């Protein structure tokens, strides 16, 4: 941090404020929970990223509050998540207690809540750097209290925050427009693919796509036909980890793909784990270039998502939550099958899968019935080329929007740095100064 501006003060949080650690009563005791005391956790802060919070999704009973070391902090205190993750920030909008995953700065009269809120947002990288732990990173109350706070007189704090929030509101509006544009591009991509895959006999319509997802095979144009996945590909499930036999000397160790590796329209292969299984099973499930991978479980809208394997890793197999569809190349291109699975197939799977408490899934027998639109092989190739060219255009737009989003994030960081080094004046020159900091 730069030198403290003239007339400003510098102090640790522990010396400038009262630092309070949170606590949690026994979770398995129903009598500990109720409406007597508002209670905040990092999860509540992540669900509601607004500045002022009055409590979380769950409260404490008086018994629960008295059974642990939680303390009620006054309205206006600044709460910071100290683990899972480090650095969410909120202002207590009412008296409340917090879980052990939070540290709270109870402010004296000469510190403005909004000023300290934004200062702690600015300090998040420093907090993360000072956190420690193996299972998860956490910043202790002692280390949290060592955070150095720089601040001007109270009236100047409030003036700085007014200027800062005005500038940030413009960035918020720009970020919202960027996110909305990215969402529209995602929808456009899907429409590009669907219109290429589904030339209905009486013209394309979203209603017809919904009908197919529900199970009605709406007639396609002449020369096209509907088929089932099992008619155009050999579909198998993957291997389940047998914990009891991992030390079996006859087993071989091979890389295998998990659900996290199989994303819609691409594979994530930076982190591929290994599994021990029988040599026979490893041979049966070995992936070959052109195999199409589809997810068996997860969120309902993720069913059947996946992409084409290109032989990136030797002797790789797949886990039981990932299906492998090996296309019959004489009737369907692998990429055609993958695009079909990711669009109309995914919608169909969402309608025909099963839902448990937390996860959706689709069985092997069901996924084999998934409808696949088929054009003559040469027309598939032509339309795949058209899809690629069209998506290259939207990809360029998406990249420009992401660069704009990255630049906005840099501006946001620089605005915060300027605010807490006394460089914000409220004039238009502020943005010029911030742009210089970014570059």
Reported as a single tens digit per residue, the pLDDT across 31-90 is 999 999 999 999 999 888 789 999 999 999 999 999 999 999 999 999 999 998 999 999
Does the pLDDT at position 354 exceed 70? yes
CA 323 to CA 364: how far, in whole Å? 8
Backbone angles phi, psi at 166, to 5 degrees: -65, -45
**What is the β-pairing status of strands 86-92 and 78-82?**
antiparallel
What pLDDT is recorded for position 438? 55
User: Would you kindly state where each structural domain of the chain is located, as residue ranges?
Assistant: 9-151, 225-374
Average pLDDT over residues 193-204: 95
pLDDT in tens, 82-103: 998 999 999 999 999 999 999 9
**What is the β-pairing status of strands 251-257 and 317-318?**
parallel
CA 4 to CA 420: how far, in whole Å? 9
Q: Give 267's strand partners.
A: 262
Does the pLDDT at position 335 exceed 60? yes
Q: Fold for domain 225-374?
A: Adenine-n6-DNA-methyltransferase TaqI; Chain A, domain 2 (3.90.220)
Task: Check residue 355 and report its DSSP letter.
Answer: E
Same fold, 9-151 and 225-374: yes
The pLDDT-based confidence of 297 (bands split at 50, 70, 90) is: confident
What pLDDT is recorded for position 360? 87
Strands in 176-282 per DSSP E:
225-228, 233-236, 251-257, 262-263, 266-267, 273-278
- Residue 387 in contact with residue 394, Cβ under 8 Å? no
Q: Which CATH architecture does the domain made up of 9-151 adopt? A: Alpha-Beta Complex (3.90)
Top mean-pLDDT range of 124-128, 130-134, 239-243? 124-128
What pLDDT is recorded for position 281? 93
The pLDDT-based confidence of 436 (bands split at 50, 70, 90) is: low
pLDDT in tens, 5-32: 999 999 999 999 999 999 999 999 999 9
Does the pLDDT at position 353 exceed 70? yes
207 Cβ partners below 8 Å, 6+ apart? none
What is the CB neighbour count within 10 angstroms for residue 331? 17
Q: Which helix (H) or strand (E) holds 129?
A: helix 124-130
Q: Give 12's strand partners.
A: 148
What pLDDT is recorded for position 395? 95
Averaged pLDDT of the chain: 93
Average pLDDT over residues 327-340: 97
| Tokens describing residue 302 | 């993720």
What pLDDT is recorded for position 78? 98
| Tokens describing residue 273 | 């784990």
């Amino acid at each position: 941090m730069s030198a403290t501006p003239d007339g400003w003060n510098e102090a640790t949080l522990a010396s400038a404020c009262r630092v309070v650690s949170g606590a949690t009563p026994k979770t398995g005791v129903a009598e500990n929970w109720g409406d007597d005391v508002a209670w905040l956790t990092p999860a509540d802060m992540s669900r509601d990223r607004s500045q002022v919070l009055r409590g979380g999704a769950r409260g404490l009973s008086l018994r629960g509050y008295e059974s642990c070391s939680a303390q009620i902090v006054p309205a206006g205190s600044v709460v910071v998540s100290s683990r899972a993750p480090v650095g969410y920030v909120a202002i207590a909008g009412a008296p409340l207690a917090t879980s052990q995953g939070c540290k709270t700065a109870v402010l004296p009269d000469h510190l403005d809540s909004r000023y300290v809120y934004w200062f702690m947002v600015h300090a998040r990288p420093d907090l993360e750097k000072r956190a420690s732990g193996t299972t998860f990173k956490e910043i202790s109350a002692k280390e949290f209290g060592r955070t150095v706070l720089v601040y001007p007189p109270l009236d100047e704090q409030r003036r700085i925050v007014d200027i800062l929030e005005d500038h940030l509101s413009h960035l918020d509006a720009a970020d919202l427009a960027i996110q909305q544009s990215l969402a529209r591009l995602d929808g456009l991509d899907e429409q590009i693919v669907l219109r290429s895959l589904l030339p209905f006999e009486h013209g394309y319509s979203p209603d017809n796509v919904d009908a197919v997802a529900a199970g009605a095979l709406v007639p396609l144009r002449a020369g096209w036909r509907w088929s089932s996945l099992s008619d155009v590909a050999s579909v198998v499930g993957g291997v389940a980890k047998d914990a009891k036999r991992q030390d079996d000397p006859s087993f071989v160790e091979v890389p295998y793909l998990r659900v996290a590796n199989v994303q819609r329209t691409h594979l994530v292969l930076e982190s591929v784990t290994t599994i021990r299984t029988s040599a026979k099973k490893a041979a049966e499930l070995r992936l070959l270039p052109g195999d199409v991978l589809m997810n068996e479980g997860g969120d309902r809208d993720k069913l059947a998502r996946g992409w084409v394997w290109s032989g990136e890793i030797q002797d790789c197999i797949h886990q039981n939550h990932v299906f492998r569809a090996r296309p019959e190349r004489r009737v369907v291109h692998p990429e055609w099958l993958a695009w079909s699975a990711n669009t109309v197939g995914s919608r169909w799977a969402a309608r025909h899968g099963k839902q448990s408490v937390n996860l959706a899934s689709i069985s092997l027998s069901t996924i084999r019935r998934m409808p696949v639109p088929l054009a003559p092989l040469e027309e598939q190739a032509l339309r795949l080329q058209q899809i690629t060219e069209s998506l290259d255009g939207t990809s360029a737009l998406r990249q420009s929007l992401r660069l704009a989003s990255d630049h906005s994030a840099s501006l946001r960081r620089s605005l915060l740095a300027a605010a807490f080094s006394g460089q914000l004046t409220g004039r238009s020159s502020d943005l010029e100064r911030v742009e210089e900091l970014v570059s």
